[in-house]
Structure 1
Amino acid sequence: MLVTGLLFVGMTAVVKHVGSDVPAAQSAFLRFALGLPFAVPMLWPLWRTGLGRNEAGLFAARGVVHTVGVICWFFAMTRIPLAEVTAMNYLNPIYVTLGASLFLGERFEARRLVAVGAALVGALVILRPGLRAVEAGHFAMLVTALFFAGGYLIAKRLSGQVSAGVVVGMLSVTVTLGLLPFALWVWVPVGWAEIGWFFLAAVLATLAHYTMTLAFASAPVSATQPATFLQLVWSVLLGAAAFGEPVDGWVILGGAIIMAAVSFITWREAVARRVGLVTEP
């Protein structure tokens, strides 16, 4: 998970380095299109078994919501500091928790309510409305976290029907197709240097997903989740060193509050599952 955090922050920094010279939709499309060589081999099981109507609908829905989230994320990356993007992205698990209760029928326990409340406080600490200007990039990150959470909930439904490799591969394919019309609408000429940077972003993202999978296979989520907070540390350091972004203590505090809420709910869910397994006749 330590390596995963470094890889994700590295990928984010590459996107920020390219900057606003390339529109957000086009940047997102190039990142996913150049990552297809890594994703297509994962779809081999589909050539043998085919895809049912229900699975196809879920894949299409996930592609739509993830496409919107990706465009907003790439837009935010060029508008607000690296650390703020990383900190606000921690809202994803909170949205997932709410969505699981609303749409998947999971019980909304008191511990979840406490975690959601704490995370919202953390988000307010980062945004500080009324004390500073809340920019378009901040709103974009709120939308990003919401739509990514929707994609994760759909992935949870799919995980019981197809393999993990197929879920990852289909995400790359559907998002690439979803981004194509938006990219063509705002397309600007790009050189080989930009192509190289986006290919590097695709490589870093693929490696990050791989190391994250290794971490999940080696230890419980409750053990690996707190390590993701280090992404904020890497973001602060890299933002200051590479982009001259000032270190904002409020962003660090807000991110710490959100991450504490995520870690708490992850730990409590793990404890609840263990107790359930022990007491179940």
Structure 2
Amino acid sequence: MFVAKAHNPPLAAVLITAASALLAGTTLLAKALGTDTLGPALHPMQISHGRFLFAFIVIVTAVGVMRPRLQRPHWGLHAGRTSFGWVGITLMFASVAFIPIADATAISFLNPVFAMVLAIPLLKEGVGPWRWLAAAVALAGALILLRPTPDSFQPAALLALTAAAVIGMELIFIKKLSGREIPIQILLINNAMGLTIASVAVSFVFQMPTSEQWAALAGIGALMACAQACFVNGMARADASFVAPISYATLIFAAFYDFAIFGVIPDGISMIGSAIILTGGLILVWREARARQA
């Protein structure tokens, strides 16, 4: 499930599309849990705890079935990756309770931009004019989604923006880990450490979920684990330049779920801001593809 696969772009497209639908589903359930849709609203730290708990159960089951050969882990990198990942996903779950899922999802696409900027001092990577252009375009789209006017400013959107920056830092740790350890080991340790952190944090805010909320928490963890599996397998079957634009389908699924379940219709500002962020992301993908060819 997590080993090298034959080059198969059509199957990769199906897997990445499935991953996008599953990831958007996690934000849908997080919004339902963060509001009073399924009962008294749960704290974002309790939602992220459910995400790690049930994802860990799924991944441990997969490890038990597959029995991969595990390596000696780099605990420092895992601790950094997990800490930033837990903070980022908690902030993301907090934001979707207050703003449209599509807006939060669009802002989350700034992750690669923040990772690119952070890679300059942390990984000593060079950044050319095209990368800076992509970053500027994407950030401009985020500013539009923030609606920076006294009457329409959405403070909760800053949660999503901060989440994108924090997860951008997580990507730096993932990049450092990816050349050292196999993907399923990274996922296993990440979810084990994340569950430990989340279990301590949730003890301060825990409230007994309803049966529907327990089901939604389990759904978030299972969807996240399945999305990661689809994404890893999709990346193994096609070039990153082919896969990355397809992952933006997450925004389409998020907008559809928000409309179908909560009746939220994206307004003009949301559509313009999202389109600009996607444009910045596509410029970055195009530039990376050109760089690899060169």
Q: Aligned runs of 1:99-138 on 2, under 5 Å?
A: 99-130=118-149, 132-138=151-157
What is the DSSP-based 3-state SS (H/G/I as helix, E as strand, rest coil) of the residue aligned with 2:288? helix
Deviation at residue 135 of structure 1 after TM alignment: 3.0
**Contact 1:222 1:263 survives alignment (8 Å):** no
Distance 2:250 2:267 in 1: 15
1:176-222 Cα shifts (integer Å, max 9, x gaps):
11112221101111133211111111111111111112221222111
The yes-or-no answer on 1:256 pairing with 2:271 is no
Q: Aligned runs of 1:1-281 on 2, under 5 Å?
A: 1-20=16-35, 21-40=41-60, 41-42=62-63, 49-51=71-73, 55-130=74-149, 132-275=151-294
TM-score (norm 1): 0.90
Corresponding residue number in structure 2 for 1:278: none
**Contact 1:24 1:74 survives alignment (8 Å):** yes
Amino acid at match of 1:36: F
Q: Which residues of structure 1 form unaligned runs of 5+?
A: 276-281
Distance 1:87 1:206 in 2: 21
Deviation at residue 131 of structure 1 after TM alignment: 5.7
What is the DSSP-based 3-state SS (H/G/I as helix, E as strand, rest coil) of the residue aligned with 1:185? coil
**Contact 1:69 1:143 survives alignment (8 Å):** yes
Deviation at residue 133 of structure 1 after TM alignment: 3.5
1:6-62 Cα shifts (integer Å, max 9, x gaps):
11111211121223311110111012112212223549667x6443xxx11111111
Deviation at residue 98 of structure 1 after TM alignment: 0.7
**Percent of pairs with identical residues:** 25
Deviation at residue 155 of structure 1 after TM alignment: 0.9
Distance 1:241 1:59 in 2: 38
Give runs of ≥4 in structure 1 deviating > 3 Å. 41-46, 48-51
Amino acid at match of 2:49: F
Amino acid at match of 2:157: H
**Contact 2:146 2:154 survives alignment (8 Å):** no
C-alpha spacing 1:249/1:133, structure 2 compared with 1 (3 Å): closer
Distance 2:273 2:210 in 1: 38
Amino acid at match of 2:24: V
Q: Which residues of structure 2 form unaligned runs of 5+?
A: 1-15, 36-40
C-alpha spacing 1:11/1:49, structure 2 compared with 1 (3 Å): closer
**Contact 2:34 2:44 survives alignment (8 Å):** no
**Contact 1:79 1:136 survives alignment (8 Å):** no
Quote the RMSD (CA, aligned, Å). 1.8
Amino acid at match of 1:89: S
Amino acid at match of 1:200: G
More helix by share: 1
**Contact 2:107 2:142 survives alignment (8 Å):** yes
What is the DSSP-based 3-state SS (H/G/I as helix, E as strand, rest coil) of the residue aligned with 1:35? helix
TM-score (norm 2): 0.87
Distance 1:211 1:105 in 2: 31
Deviation at residue 255 of structure 1 after TM alignment: 1.4
Distance 2:80 2:290 in 1: 33
What is the DSSP-based 3-state SS (H/G/I as helix, E as strand, rest coil) of the residue aligned with 2:203? helix
**Contact 1:229 1:256 survives alignment (8 Å):** no
